[in-house]
Structure 1
């Protein structure tokens, strides 16, 4: 599944799932532009195969300029990964219109209009691929996640519609729905429990594979979807959750 000479734009690629995708793309020979609000880490800045592009993804007016900058720097664009997103907990009785607008702007509006900005370049590249990072919460839901679940379900639906609309241009569009992926934020959450060790063990027991995911687990699937190995696949949402959503809970 070689990505040699492929050029990828990954939003939010500096940490977490995005970092796992970026690292796997680099291992497969791609050059990667990381688009996010914060600066990328020094090790990425020093890699000649990486360019960091600071951007506010809530500002759609910047998108054409961002994509043009990446395409000029590398000479084109083959892969777009819409990974950046936000999540916060808010009950239905408490969520404000401003919070809803922020969630939808980041998790739904930005991916759509980044696709729009990237189209002129993707249309010129054989085997072009768009990969949207959804969530198992686009299929199920946790408490107080109405807005988040709605945006991720919407992103899965958008993926199918993009596949239909862009197939004639030779552009495939698929999504990944990750489960629990280890990150700094998830570790801080587990540490907040009275017994963090038992919290981790309990979390691992939710997964038939016996562990939570790592960024590279999602990166591996992203490499597959970006490569010619998935050339007959489009409009799909691949659940990558260690089996968590297929395991029925039992009383303990």
Structure 2
């Protein structure tokens, strides 16, 4: 589906990003992974993968990534703004520095990385896929900054779709629900009764399971491909039905 396409994936070496990178490679793309951590041995040994070390909180990161993908692969066809982080703070506890770093990584970096890659994406048309969250639609306790950043991702996705359509560039977002990772497993294990927590979590999902990084990767490949040529400006919820299910009080 993506033979000879070149993709940039921020945070593409771990968690959801790793699932995205794997599925892009399976579809025939070459991938530049932009993140602070080095690639693991498997990705590092793959000739279709390159790595650029960047801290997305730094303002110069987008320009560094744009230069590197042109140097390594000669262009870019797909941008996946995946990297992000989350913290839990009540409004009383939250400091301005906490808020500013959240917005820098989760919201500013995707916007200005899209800007930095525009000259490359315009060459043949392209696809931008932003990873939002169901927390851009709803909220968990103490997630004010995270929810705001992801709602912003959804908003600028629609705006960029409108502005960049004339350049042949589509822009969509994915709003993942609960996706299994080392961090999510650790969160469940830290609960007073992990077994009960897992059981309760599964009950929230009509499909009977929680998500895997590859579930998000499959959707990225679709949105990046010509199969989605008439889809832009959309936020696609990928959550196993969690947000469709009304909770009962018993």
Q: TM-score range by the shorter chain?
A: over 0.9
TM-superposed CA distance for 1:197, in Å, is 2.1
**2:97 matched to 1:106?**
no
Partner SS for 1:53: strand
Q: Which runs of 4+ in 1 moved over 4 A?
A: none
Q: TM-score, normalised by structure 1?
A: 0.97
Superposed CA offset, 1:17-62 (max 9, x none): 1011000000010000000011111110000010011101111223
TM-superposed CA distance for 1:191, in Å, is 1.0
| Residue in 1 that maps onto 2:237 | 239
| Residue in 2 that maps onto 1:67 | 66
TM-superposed CA distance for 1:245, in Å, is 0.5
- The RMSD of aligned alpha carbons is 0.8
Q: Is the 8 A contact 1:78 1:129 kept in 2?
A: yes
TM-superposed CA distance for 1:67, in Å, is 1.1
| Residue in 2 that maps onto 1:6 | 5
**2:148 matched to 1:181?**
no
Q: Is the 8 A contact 1:70 1:76 kept in 2?
A: yes
| Residue in 2 that maps onto 1:46 | 45
| Residue in 1 that maps onto 2:151 | 153
| Residue in 1 that maps onto 2:213 | 215
Which ranges in structure 1 are unaligned for 5 or more consecutive residues? Answer: none
Distance 1:117 1:194 in 2: 46
| Residue in 1 that maps onto 2:167 | 169
Distance 1:63 1:182 in 2: 28
Q: TM-score, normalised by structure 2?
A: 0.98
TM-superposed CA distance for 1:193, in Å, is 2.3
Distance 1:194 1:234 in 2: 43
Partner SS for 1:60: coil
Q: How does 1:80-159 map to 2 (within 5 A)?
A: 80-126=79-125, 128-159=126-157
Superposed CA offset, 1:127-178 (max 9, x none): x000000000000000001110011001100000000110010000000000
| Residue in 1 that maps onto 2:223 | 225
Distance 1:136 1:8 in 2: 24
Q: Is the 8 A contact 1:77 1:125 kept in 2?
A: no
Distance 1:101 1:189 in 2: 25
Partner SS for 2:76: coil
TM-superposed CA distance for 1:228, in Å, is 0.3
Distance 1:88 1:19 in 2: 21
| Residue in 2 that maps onto 1:204 | 202
> How many equivalent residue pairs?
250
Distance 1:104 1:65 in 2: 19
